């Protein structure tokens, strides 16, 4: 059986300020980067680590996936 794990991107300044960003390309802030590292730590505790990572090409999603992949020793995410 294939397991699909979905992880939302980390916080951006616009998320923090409760602004709708939609497809506007707003980068992660420091809190968002820490959230991505925390998500990787949580994934390390699962029974089966991901083997493949994919992300949107928006910078906040791409950077979140890059942090996750780096922390989990996975190949760079496909965009």
Q: Is 71 exposed, middle or buried (0-12, 13-18, 19+ CB in 10 A)?
A: middle
What residues does each domain of the chain span?
13-18+27-71
Which tens digits make up the pLDDT trace of 37-66?
999 999 998 877 888 899 999 999 999 999
Distance of CA 18 to the CA centre of its chain: 19
The angle, 0 to 180 degrees and rounded to 10, between the axes of the packed helices 59-71 and 30-44 is 40
pLDDT reported for residue 2: 83
Distance of CA 67 to the CA centre of its chain: 7
pTM, rounded to two decimals: 0.92
pLDDT reported for residue 47: 73
pLDDT reported for residue 34: 98
């Amino acid at each position: 059986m294939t397991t699909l794990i979905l992880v939302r991107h980390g916080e951006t300044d616009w998320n923090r300020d409760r602004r709708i960003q939609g497809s506007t390309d707003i980068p992660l802030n420091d809190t968002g980067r820490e959230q991505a590292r925390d998500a990787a730590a949580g994934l390390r505790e699962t029974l089966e680590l991901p083997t493949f990572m994919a992300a949107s090409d928006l910078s906040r999603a791409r950077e979140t996936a890059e942090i996750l992949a780096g922390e989990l020793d996975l190949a760079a995410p496909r965009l």
